[in-house]
Structure 1
Amino acid sequence: MFQTLAKSLFGSANERHVKSLLKIVDQINALEPQIQAMDDATLQAQTAKFREQLAAGKSLDDILPEAFATVREASLRVMGMRHFDVQMVGGIVLHRGEIAEMRTGEGKTLVATLATYLNALPGKGVHVVTVNDYLASRDAQTMGRLYGWLGLTTGVIVPNLPEPVRREAYAADITYGTNNEFGFDYLRDNMKQERSQQVHRPFNYAIVDEVDSILIDEARTPLIISGPTDDKSDLYVALDAIVKELEAEYYEADEKSRNVSLTEDGTEEVERRLAAAGLLATDNLYDVENTMVVHHLDQALKAVVMFKRDIDYIVKDGKVVIIDEFTGRMMDGRRWSNGLHQAVEAKEGVRIEPENQTMASITFQNYFRMYPKLSGMTGTAATEAMEFWDIYKLNVVEIPTNVPVKRIDEDDEFYKNTQDKFRAIAKAIREKNEIGQPVLVGTVSIEKSELLSRFLTEEGVKHEVLNARFHEREAHIVAQAGRLGAVTIATNMAGRGTDIQLGGNVEFTVEDELRDMPEGPERDAAIDRIKATISAEREQVRAAGGLFVLGTERHESRRIDNQLRGRSGRQGDPGLSRFYLCLEDDLLRIFGPDTLFAKMMNSNLGEGEAIGSKWLSKAIEQAQKKVEARNYEARKQVVEYDNVMNDQRKVIYEQRAEVMDAETVDDVVHDMRQDTINTMVANACPPGSYPEQWDIAGLRERADDVLGLDLPIDAWLAEEAVEPDVIEERIVALADDKLAAKLDGIEPQIWRHVEKGVLIDRLDHNWKEHLATLDALRQVVFLRAYAQKTPLSEYKQEAFGLFEAMLEGIRTDVTRVLMKSELRMPQPAPPPLPELPAFLTGHIDPLFGTDDSDGSSRATGQEAFLGSLAGSPVAASGPGGADMTDPWAGQEVSRNAPCPCGSGNKYKHCHGAHA
Structure 2
Amino acid sequence: MLGLGKIAKKIFGSANDRYLAKLQPKIEAINALEPEFEALSDDDLKAKTAEFRSRLEAGETTDDLLVEAFATVREAAKRTLGQRHYDVQLIGGMVLHDNSIAEMRTGEGKTLVATLAAYLNALPGKGVHVVTVNDYLAERDSSWMSQVYGFLGMTTGVILPILDAQARQEAYAADITYGTNNEFGFDYLRDNMKFHRQEMVQREFAFAIVDEVDSILIDEARTPLIISGPTEDKSELYVTINDIIANISEEDYEKDEKSRHVALTDDGMEKVEGILRDGGFMEGESLYDYENTALVHHVDQALKAHVLFERDKDYIVKDNKVIIIDEFTGRMMDGRRYSGGLHQALEAKEKVDIQPENQTLASVTLQNYFRMYPKLSGMTGTAETEAEEFAEIYGLGVIEIPTNVEVQRKDEHDEFYRTETEKYEAIVRDIADAQERGQPVLVGTVSIEKSEVLSAFLHQKKVKHQVLNARYHEQEAYIIAQAGRLGAVTIATNMAGRGTDIQLGGNLDMMIDQATQGIEDAAEIAKITSEIKAQVEEEKAKALEAGGLYVMGTERHESRRIDNQLRGRSGRQGDPGRSKFYLSLQDDLMRIFGPERMDAMLVRLGIEEGEAIIHPWINKAIEKAQQKVETRNYDIRKNLVKYDDVMNDQRNVVYEQRREIMDADDVSETIKDMRTDVVYNLVDTRIPPKSYPEQWDMDGLAEDCVKILGMDLPVKEWAEEEGINEKTIIERIENAVDQMMSAKAVNYGTELWRSVEKSLLLQVVDQEWKDHLGNLDHLRQGVGLRSYGQRDPLNEYKTEAFSLFESMLYHTRESVTSLLARVELAPQVDPAALEPESPSVFQESHANPTTGENEMAAGFDPNDTSTWHNVPRNAPCPCGSGEKFKHCHGNFSDGQPGALKNPFEGVGRNEPCPCGSGKKFKHCHGAV
Report if TM-score (shorter chain) is over 0.5.
yes
How many Å separate the matches in 2 of 1:340 and 1:427? 41
Give the 3 Å change call, closer, same or farther, for CA 50–589 of structure 1 in structure 2. Answer: same
TM-score by length of 2: 0.88
Distance 1:783 1:657 in 2: 37
- Amino acid paired to 2:33: L
Task: Determine if contact 1:468/1:494 at 8 Å carries over to the other structure.
Answer: no
Equivalent position of 2:348 in the other structure:
346
Partner in structure 2 of residue 461 of structure 1: 463
The offset of 1:469, in angstroms, is: 5.1
- CA distance in 1 between counterparts of 2:472 and 2:419 reads 32
Instruction: Write the letter of the residue equivalent to 2:824.
Output: E
Partner of 2:24: helix, strand, or coil? helix
How far apart in 2 are the matches of 1:357 and 1:743? 37
Q: Quickly say closer, same or farther: Cα 1:445–1:677, change in 2 above 3 A.
A: same
Please tell me whether the aligned partners of residues 496 and 566 of structure 2 are also in contact (alpha carbons under 8 angstroms).
no
1:109 to 108, 111, 117: 111
Are the equivalent residues in 1 in contact too, given 2:127–2:207 (CA < 8 A)? yes
Helix, strand or coil at the partner of 1:261: strand
Question: Compared with structure 1, are the counterparts of its residues 84 and 519 closer, same or farther at alpha carbon in structure 2 (3 Å cutoff)?
Answer: farther
After TM superposition, the score normalised by the length of structure 1 is: 0.89
Change (3 A) 1:89 1:507: same
Q: Which residue of 2 aligns with 1:810?
A: 812
Structure 2 residue aligned with 1:635 = 637
Partner in structure 1 of residue 429 of structure 2: 427
User: 5+ residue gaps in structure 1?
Assistant: 830-915
How far apart in 2 are the matches of 1:424 and 1:597?
19
In the TM superposition, what is the alpha-carbon distance from 1:163 to its structure 2 partner? Answer: 0.8
Residue 714 of structure 1 aligns with an amino acid whose one-letter code is: K
Which of 793, 796, 811 is the matching residue for 2:795?
Answer: 793
Describe the SS at the equivalent of 2:408.
Answer: coil
Helix, strand or coil at the partner of 1:550 = strand
How far apart, in 2, do the equivalents of 1:786 and 1:491 lie?
A: 41
1:762 CA drift (Å)? 0.3
Distance 1:234 1:697, change over 3 A: farther
Distance change (3 Å), C-alpha of 1:364 and 1:602:
farther
| Per-residue Cα deviation, 1:45-70 (whole angstroms, up to 9, x for no partner) | 21111112112111111111111111
Aligned: 1:484 with 2:460: no
Question: Residue in 2 aligned with 1:591?
Answer: 593
Could you say what secondary structure the match of 1:350 adopts?
Answer: coil
Structure 1 counterpart of 2:443 = 441
Residues 1:223 and 2:225 are matched in the alignment: yes
Contact 2:439 2:549 in 1 (8 A): yes
Give the SS at the match of 1:359. strand
- SS of 1:442's equivalent in the other structure is strand
Amino acid at match of 1:688: K
State the Cα deviation string for residues 808-844 of structure 1 (Å, max 9, x = none): 0100010011111112234689xxxxxxxxxxxxxxx
For 1:792 and 1:196, the matched residues in 2 are separated by 39
Amino acid at match of 1:243: I
Q: Equivalent residue for 1:79?
A: 81
Aligned partner of 2:99 among 91, 97, 100: 97
After TM superposition, the structure 1 stretch with the greater mean CA deviation from structure 2, 727-736 or 641-650, is: 727-736
Report the counterpart of residue 281 of structure 1 in structure 2.
Answer: 283
Determine the C-alpha separation between the residues in 2 that align with 1:373 and 1:699: 53
1:594 Cα deviation from its structure 2 partner: 0.9
- 1:46-57 mapped onto 2 (5 Å cutoff): 46-57=48-59
Report the counterpart of residue 258 of structure 1 in structure 2.
260
Distance 1:639 1:169, change over 3 A: same
Q: Which amino acid aligns with 1:114?
A: L
Q: What does residue 147 of structure 2 align with?
A: 145
Corresponding residue number in structure 2 for 1:523: 525
CA distance in 2, matches of 1:471, 1:142: 23
CA–CA distance in structure 2, aligned partners of residues 492 and 83 of structure 1: 30
Deviations 1:698-723 (A, max 9, x none): 22222111111112122112212321
Structure 2: distance between partners of 1:43 and 1:399: 29
For residue 910 of structure 2, what is the aligned residue in structure 1? none
Amino acid corresponding to residue 625 of structure 2 in structure 1: A
What amino acid does structure 1 have at the position aligned with 2:234?
K
* Residue of structure 2 equivalent to 1:303: 305
Q: Which amino acid aligns with 1:104?
A: T
Q: Quick one: which of 739, 760, 767 aligns to 1:765? A: 767
For residues 889-908 of structure 1, what are the structure 2 equivalents within 5 Å?
A: none
Paired letter, 1:738: M
1:303 Cα deviation from its structure 2 partner: 0.7
Aligned equivalents of 1:254 and 1:101: distance in 2? 36
Secondary structure in structure 1 of the residue aligned to 2:579: strand
Q: Render the CA deviation track for 1:736-757: whole Å, top value 9, x for unaligned.
A: 2222232333221111111111
Secondary structure of 1:338's counterpart equals: coil
CA offsets 1:111-160 (integer angstroms, 9 cap, x no match): 11110111111111000000000000000111111111111100100102
Q: Is the 8 A contact 1:427 1:459 kept in 2?
A: no
Query: Superposition pairs for residues 721-740 of structure 1, below 5 Å?
Result: 721-740=723-742
- 1:738-788 residue CA offsets vs partner (Å, 9 max, x unmatched): 222323332211111111111110000000000000011011111111111
1:364 pairs, out of 363, 366, 383, with 366
1:375-524 equivalences in 2 (<5 Å): 375-468=377-470, 473-493=475-495, 496-518=498-520, 520-524=522-526
**CA shift in 2, pair 1:349/1:551, >3 Å:** same
Give the residue type in structure 2 aligned to 1:463.
H
Cα distance, 1:225 vs structure 2: 0.4
Paired residues of 1:407 and 1:576 also in contact (CA < 8 A): yes
Instruction: Report the counterpart of residue 895 of structure 2 in structure 1.
Output: none
CA contact (8 A) 2:422 2:609 kept: yes
Is 1:777 the counterpart of 2:779? The answer is yes
The answer to whether the Cα contact below 8 Å between 1:239 and 1:300 also exists between their aligned partners in 2 is yes
State the 1:248 CA deviation.
Answer: 1.4
Per the alignment, residue 25 of structure 1 pairs with 27
Alignment of 1:633-712 (within 5 A): 633-712=635-714
> What residue is the counterpart of 1:171 in the other structure?
173
Alignment partners' CA distance in 2, 1:472 and 1:82:
33
Distance of 1:360 and 1:746 partners within structure 2: 35
- In 1, the alpha carbon distance for the partners of 2:454 and 2:400 equals 35
Any conservation in 2 of the 1:475–1:495 contact (CA below 8 Å)? no
Structure 1 contact 327–491 (Cα < 8 Å) conserved: yes
How well do the aligned residues superpose, as a CA RMSD in angstroms?
A: 1.4
- Paired AA for residue 355 in structure 2: E
Tell whether the 8 Å contact from 2:496 to 2:562 is kept in structure 1 after alignment: no
Comparing 567-576 and 509-518, the one that deviates more? 509-518
Residue type of the partner of 1:458? Q
* Aligned-residue offset at 1:470: 6.6
Q: How far apart are the structure 1 equivalents of 2:481 and 2:12?
A: 40
Matched residue, 1:193: 195
- Distance of 1:297 and 1:811 partners within structure 2: 39
Given that residues 699 and 716 in structure 2 are in contact (C-alpha distance below 8 angstroms), is that contact kept between their aligned partners in structure 1?
no
2:13 paired residue number = 11
Q: Could you tell me which residue of structure 1 aligns to residue 72 of structure 2?
A: 70
C-alpha distance after superposition, 1:57-110 (max 9, x if no partner):
111111111111111111111111111000000000001110000000101101
Q: Which runs of 5+ in 2 are unaligned?
A: 832-928
Shift of residue 734 of structure 1?
A: 1.6
Greater Cα shift, 691-700 or 416-425 = 691-700
Number of corresponding residues = 829
Task: Tell me the distance in 1 between the aligned counterparts of 2:526 and 2:155.
Answer: 30
Paired residues of 1:468 and 1:490 also in contact (CA < 8 A) = no
SS at match of 1:604: coil
Distance 1:70 1:741 in 2: 66
Alignment CA distance shift 1:664-1:106 (3 Å): same
